[in-house]
Structure 1
Amino acid sequence: MWKRIKDIAIKYPKLTSLVTFILFFLSIEYILKGGWQLALIISLSLAVHEYSHVLAMKIYKIPVKGVIFIPFLGAVAIGGTKGKIWTRQQECFIALAGPVMGYLTALPLWLLWKTTDNLLYIYGMGFVIFLNLFNMLPMSPLDGGRVIKSLLMSISWKYRKIGFFIWGILVLGSLLLFAKLFLRSSYGIMMMVLLGWFGFQEIRFEWHYYRAGQMINWPLSKKAIIGFLFAYLVLASWPFLLIVYL
C-alpha cells in the first residue's frame, strides 16, 4: 500500500502536493477548531518554507520533484532517484533556506496588521515565527537538527565522540525544554515521541558509520562551521530578541 502511494506521489508530484496541501490545511483547521483563515496562513507559510528547501536543492542541482504535506505534522520534499545530498555544506544550506524564508513570511503579516489592525494577522505572525523557531530545535528531522548534525559531524575525527555526546544532550534537552508544551495533549505527546525517536535514530545511524570508520558526507571547513553556526544561532535566537525589544 505504502509503496503504491509513494509511486503515485513520484509519478504525479504536483497533484500530490496540491492534494496533500489541502489535507494539511484541513488538519490544521481541525486543530484550531474552525479557524480556517489562520489555518490557511499557517499552511501557506509552511509551503513557502518547504519550497525554499526545494529551491535550495535545485541550486545544488539535486533532483527534487515536489513537496508532500503530512496532515497534523508538516511536510517533506520529494527527491528524485538521484536526489542525494553529498556534502555537509549542502545539507546546512538547504536546511537553513526553509527557516530563512519561513521567517520572512511573517513580514507581510506584520504589515497587514499595522495597516488593518486585524488581530488575525498578528496571531498568524506569531504562529509563523513559533513554527519556524520550533523547526530550529537541534534534532532530526527538523532543520535545526540537520544543521547541528552537520556541524558536529564535521569536527576532527579524533574528537567526534564528543560531538555525539553533545548531540545527544541537545536532543534530550530540546525534548525536556518543550515537555510541558508537549504533554498538554495527546497530539503533543505523539509529536514528542516522534521527534525523540527520529532524533536518536539519526544519532544511531551516524554512530554506526563512525564506528565503521566511514564518512557519509564531506565535512565542513572551519570557515563554513563558523559561518553556519553563526547563521543557526541568529535564526534560533532572533525571535527572543524581538520579544525583549517589544
Structure 2
Amino acid sequence: MEESKKKTTAWGIIGVGALFLLGKLKWILPILKFLKIKTLISMAIYLATYAVFYGWKFALALVYLLFVHESGHLVAAKKLKLPTTPAVFIPFVGAFIGMKERPKNAKDEAFLAYMGPLFGLLAFLPAIPLYIWTKEPFWAFVIVLGSIINLFNLIPMTPLDGGRIVSGISTKLWAVGLVLLLAYAIWAGSFIGFMVLIMGIIEWRRIREEQKNIEYDRNRAKDYQEMLTSLRNIAETSTYEHLQYFAQSLKPNLQVEEKLQNTLHLLDEEDGEMTDEEKERKRELKKQEFLSAFEKEVERIHNYVEETASYYQTDGKVKAGLFVIYIALAIVLGVSSYLSYPLLPPLE
C-alpha cells in the first residue's frame, strides 16, 4: 500500500512538472514547432525499433532523453537566429538536427553545441528525486542512460558536441578526443564509435586544409578585387567580346567560387533576330549586369575568406569561459553516471 502511494505521488510530481512547463508556453513554443511530421515519423520508427529489441520502457526513456537533448540545440539555434531542419531519429545511430547556415564563429558554435548536453542534463535531473522517493529502478536507469549519452557527446572530437565546444578553445584538443574516441570504440567494440571517429578525422582534415589555405585564398580574393577595379576602369571602352573572353577565362581557384561561374551565363545568351542597334543595347546591358554580378561575387568571396580566417579566433576570456563550463558539465555528468550506475538491479 505504501509503495503504491509513493508511485502515485511520483506521477503526481511529474504531472505538476508537466503543467508547469505547459504554463511556460512562450518558452516551449520553439520545441513544439520542432515537432515536424518528419520528426514524428522518424521518432515513431525509432521508438518501435528499440521497443522490439529492448522493451518499451527503454525505448521511451531513450527517445525522451534524445529529444530533450536535440531541443537544447534547437533553442540555441533560435537564439542565434540560425535556421534548422527538423530533427531526425535514426535507429542505432541517434538523433540530430541539420543546420541550414553555419554559425558566425566558434563561440556561437560552442554555445549551439553546449546547449544539447546541458538540456540533456536537465532532462534526467527530475529522475533523481523520483528514484529517491520510489526506489523504482527505472528512474535509476534514466539517470544512468542520460548521463552516459551526454557524457559521450562531450568527447572533444567533432562531430560530437564536445568537439564543437572545444573548437572555441583550440582545435588541437581534438587530438585528445581522437584518442578517447578510439579507446572507447575499441574497448566497447562500438560501431557508432568507429563511425564517429572516421567522420571526425575527415572533418578535422577538411578544417586543417581550409585553415592552411587561408593565405593563398586571401591572395586570390585580392587578385579578383584588382581585376574588378581594372574592369571598372575600362568598362566604358571595353567591348562585349572583351568581357566575354574575360568571363570565359575565369577559373575556379577557390572552393567558394562556384557561384562565380554563374556570372558567365550573363554573356552567353543568344541575341537572336535583332537589329544592330538592339544588339548593341543588349550587349551594353549585359556588360553592366556582368560587372555588377562580378562585384557582388568578389565581395562575397572576400567576406568568406576573412570569416574563415577568423572563425576559430577567440580571446582569452572566451577560451577560459568555455573551458570552465565544459569541464563543469563533464564532471557533473561523470559523477552522475558513477553514482547512479550501482543503483541499477543486477543483470539476471
Q: TM-score range by the shorter chain?
A: 0.7 to 0.9
What amino acid sits opposite 1:122 in the alignment?
A: A
How many residue pairs are counted as aligned between the two chains? 214
The residue number in structure 2 matching 1:122 is 140
- Structure 1 residues 204 and 79: CA distance shift in structure 2, 3 A: same
Q: Which 10-residue stretch deviates more, 236-245 or 131-140?
A: 236-245
What amino acid sits opposite 1:168 in the alignment?
A: A
* 2:104 paired residue among 82, 86, 91: 86
The residue number in structure 2 matching 1:159 is none
Q: TM-score, normalised by structure 2?
A: 0.57
Which ranges of structure 1 fall in alignment gaps of 5 or more residues?
1-11, 154-162
The residue number in structure 2 matching 1:205 is 206
8 Å contact from structure 2 (residues 43, 63) kept in 1: yes
> Is 2:157 the partner of 1:139?
yes
C-alpha displacement at 1:193, in angstroms? 2.2
8 Å contact from structure 1 (residues 168, 203) kept in 2: no
CA RMSD of aligned residues (A): 2.2
User: Separation in 1 of the partners of 2:60 and 2:35?
Assistant: 21
C-alpha displacement at 1:20, in angstroms? 0.8
- Structure 1 residues 211 and 229: CA distance shift in structure 2, 3 A: same
User: Separation in 2 of the partners of 1:111 and 1:13?
Assistant: 29
The residue number in structure 2 matching 1:234 is 328
Residue deviations 1:13-40, cap 9 Å, x none?
A: 700010111122223334xx34211210
- Structure 1 residues 180 and 50: CA distance shift in structure 2, 3 A: same
**Alignment of structure 1 residues 1-246 onto 2, 5 Å:** 14-30=36-52, 33-80=53-100, 83-153=101-171, 163=172, 166-181=173-188, 183=189, 188=190, 190-213=191-214, 216=308, 217=311, 219-242=313-336, 243=338
Residue deviations 1:157-210, cap 9 Å, x none?
A: xxxxxx3xx4234312332145211x1xxxx2x212211111101110111112
| 4+ runs deviating over 4 angstroms | none
- Structure 1 residues 233 and 178: CA distance shift in structure 2, 3 A: farther
C-alpha displacement at 1:51, in angstroms? 1.1
What amino acid sits opposite 1:20 in the alignment?
A: S
The residue number in structure 2 matching 1:6 is none
Structure having the higher Rg: 2
C-alpha displacement at 1:123, in angstroms? 0.9
Percent of residue pairs identical: 25
User: Separation in 2 of the partners of 1:196 and 1:120?
Assistant: 31
User: Separation in 1 of the partners of 2:313 and 2:129?
Assistant: 41
User: Separation in 2 of the partners of 1:209 and 1:67?
Assistant: 29
Which ranges of structure 2 fall in alignment gaps of 5 or more residues?
1-33, 215-304, 343-348
User: Separation in 1 of the partners of 2:99 and 2:201?
Assistant: 23
- 2:98 aligned counterpart, secondary structure: strand
8 Å contact from structure 1 (residues 54, 66) kept in 2: no
C-alpha displacement at 1:244, in angstroms? 6.5
- 2:87 aligned counterpart, secondary structure: strand
- 2:126 aligned counterpart, secondary structure: helix
User: Separation in 1 of the partners of 2:206 and 2:80?
Assistant: 24
- Structure 1 residues 21 and 151: CA distance shift in structure 2, 3 A: same
- Structure 1 residues 244 and 70: CA distance shift in structure 2, 3 A: closer
C-alpha displacement at 1:110, in angstroms? 1.6
